[in-house]
Each structure stands twice: as C-alpha cells, then as structure tokens.
Amino acid sequence: MHDALREDALHRAMRCAQRTLCSALSSARCDARCDHARCHARCHHARCGAAGCSKTSLARAAAGAATASFYYLSGATLYSPYVGEAERRLREFFALGRATSPAILFIDELEAIVGSREAAGGGDEVQQRVLSTLLNEMDGVAALSQVLLIGATNRPDLLDAALLRPGRFDEQLLVPPPDEEGRAQVLGVHTRHMPLADDVGLEGLAARSVGWSGAQLAGLCREAGMEALRDDMGAAAVRQAHFEAALRRVHAVPGGSTV
C-alpha cells in the first residue's frame, strides 16, 4: 500500500515537472507577444531533486524538443584561481545564450556556485562577486529574451535568499525519482545493447526498485553485466540471476524500498 501511494506521488510529481518545463519553454519563445501585452514571462526556474534524478538530462531533452540551444555550467568549470575569471566566464555564459536564442542556460550545482551567505557566515569575497554578477545578469539592463535560465540543486536550503525573491528563482520545481513506468524505460535504455536471457524481466525489476534514481538504475545494469563476466568471461547473455546479484550490491536511495 505504501509503495502504491509512493508510485502515485512520483507519477504526479514527474507529470507536474514536465508540464511546468513545457510551459516555461513556450513562454520563453513568446517573449515578443508578452512584451506587446505588457507582461513578462517567467524565465528563471530552480530545479530541485536528489542526485542522479536526471535534472540535467530533462533540461537537455527539453532543449532538443524545442530546437533550442543548450549551454551547461557548473562550479567545476566556473571557478578559477585568477581574480575576476569566474565573473568573466559567467558573463560570457549569459552573452552566449542571448546571442544564440532561443536557448536554455543550465547552471548545475547552484548551491556550490552561489550558496547562502548566511550559512557561510557572510560568504567569501569571490562567491559574493559571483553572486552579484549572476543577479545582475538575471535582472540587469540586458534582458534575457527567449532565454530560459534553469538552476539545478539537491540542497535548496543552501541557496542564498537573494536568488529566491520574486523575479529570480522564485519557482522551485521538484524533479522526483522516476515512477515504475519511467524505471522500466530507463532499464530498457541501459540494456538495449546488452544481450539479455529470456528469463530477465525488466518490468519486475522496475516494480522492485521504488525510489531509485536513473543513475542507480544505470548502475544496476552495469553491475549485472559485470556479474555475468565474473560468472563466465565468455557469457553470451546476462541472466536474471545476475540482476538479482546486482540488486544486492546496488543500494536504494534513503527512504526507497528494500529489494
């Protein structure tokens, strides 16, 4: 009963996330009509969800479906030991989106780039300059016409309050783990080039992995393949027994069902 309720909640949350993203893309592409009507479309979204829940993949797929350019930025590529380099890269990131609109600008690990100044005791000088640059790009003189800005985080509690005020990342969109139908599709994607024995039931595996993320399901398929090779280096196919052994090795997310 608990798993059925959880599945229903996952399904509704994912459908809501998809509808919100589609609506945001439509609004970003209709900026001219919004300006004519004296209104402004929402063009900033904060996407929240556990690690491995395909936040980046969902945004990339949306950009492909909308024939929009997609640009990715993370803390690892932003920060530099040189003074002013991080701010310059951030300005160039936004300039690229404006120059190639319609576009989706995706900032990953948002809390690591511009985390809360209160939580960090005021924050360091570099982070404050980066935050100031980001806020200026979001609502400065140069408008983000036909550009959708998405920030992804798995720690929304660490975001600076200045990012969450109306007109910025004021809408937080939850990206949940996939529901049973989604998990079956993920398993199908990661086993499409894998020879499977007739006794393998992907639907059954999907039903037993409530709360698992896409990354964990990919790890399950990878581990099952490794189990087949450990069993026999010349194995012609991956059997259900290999998936059962992999299930004991790959752990579910906290709160997920046990297998």
What's 110's domain CATH number? 3.40.50.300
In a domain, 256, yes or no: no
Given 174, 193, 227, which residue is the final one in a domain? 174
Q: Which domain holds residue 189?
A: 180-249
137 vs 131: CA distance, rounded Å: 10
| CB contact at 8 A, 158 and 114 | no
194 vs 206: CA distance, rounded Å: 17
- Partners of 84 in beta bridges: none
| Residues 189 and 168 placed together within one structural domain of the fold | no
| Residues 120 and 35 placed together within one structural domain of the fold | yes
Per residue of the chain (259 residues), give pLDDT as tens.
444 544 454 445 455 555 555 555 555 554 544 443 333 444 566 667 667 777 888 888 878 887 888 999 987 788 877 888 889 999 999 999 989 888 888 988 888 887 676 655 555 677 888 888 888 888 776 677 788 888 888 888 888 888 888 877 877 777 788 888 889 999 999 999 999 998 899 999 999 888 888 888 999 999 999 999 988 888 889 999 999 999 888 764 444 444 4
State the pTM of this model: 0.70
In a domain, 259, yes or no: no
| Residues 190 and 160 placed together within one structural domain of the fold | no
φ, ψ dihedrals at 45, nearest 5°:
-135, 140
Report the domain count for the chain.
2
| Residues 152 and 200 placed together within one structural domain of the fold | no
In a domain, 258, yes or no: no
In a domain, 255, yes or no: no
